[in-house]
Amino acid sequence: MTAGLAPSLVSGWFNTLRTTGNGGAAYSAVAGTYLQLHTGDPGAAGTSNISVGSTTRNSFIFSSSSSGSSLSLGTPPSAWTNGGTSETITHVSVWTASTAGTFLYSVALTTPQAWASGNQYNQSTLTAALTPQAA
């Protein structure tokens, strides 16, 4: 999987289009969002290439959508501190919980970030957008 939406997120959205009389399930809003760092593609389950420097998922909050098609980072996650490795962060994944939880999607960074022992990593921007395809 190249960075993208997880099946669990898309299935939840699609289930909202089904009527409850037809076996449809209500989609529950995500209660929290957590960001995890990766040194390569997180894969379809979001569990591949997790950073060794910090395996912590930090909480963040998106601002309300103003255009109806995108969200932007409202409250950034706390900084990650590298616990003794030298690696390059290339992707992030978004989850519903700080541990376990549901993998929602992953994003490749525009510019990979070198990250060495004692460094901090800050994620200051993150945008999720759904745009219509041309007819």
Model confidence at 1: pLDDT above 50: no
Q: What is the pLDDT of residue 31?
A: 83
Identify whether the C-beta of residue 34 lies closer than 8 Å to the C-beta of residue 101: yes
Alpha-carbon span 127 to 72, nearest angstrom: 4
Q: What is the pTM of this model?
A: 0.79
Model confidence at 28: pLDDT above 80: no
Sequence spans of domains, the chain: 7-18+31-119
Q: What is the pLDDT of residue 65?
A: 74
The mean per-residue pLDDT over the stretch 82-96 comes to 94
Q: If you average pLDDT over every residue of the chain, what do you get? A: 83
117 compared with 68, residue with greater pLDDT: 117
> What is the band of 36 on the pLDDT scale with cuts at 50, 70, 90?
very high
Beta carbons within 8 Å of 39's beta carbon, 6+ residues apart:
49, 50, 51, 52, 87, 88, 89, 90, 91
Identify the H or E element spanning 97: none
Beta carbons within 8 Å of 37's beta carbon, 6+ residues apart:
50, 51, 53, 54, 80, 89, 91, 92, 121
Choose the weakest-confidence range: 49-53, 69-73, 95-99, 118-122. 69-73
Model confidence at 18: pLDDT above 60: no
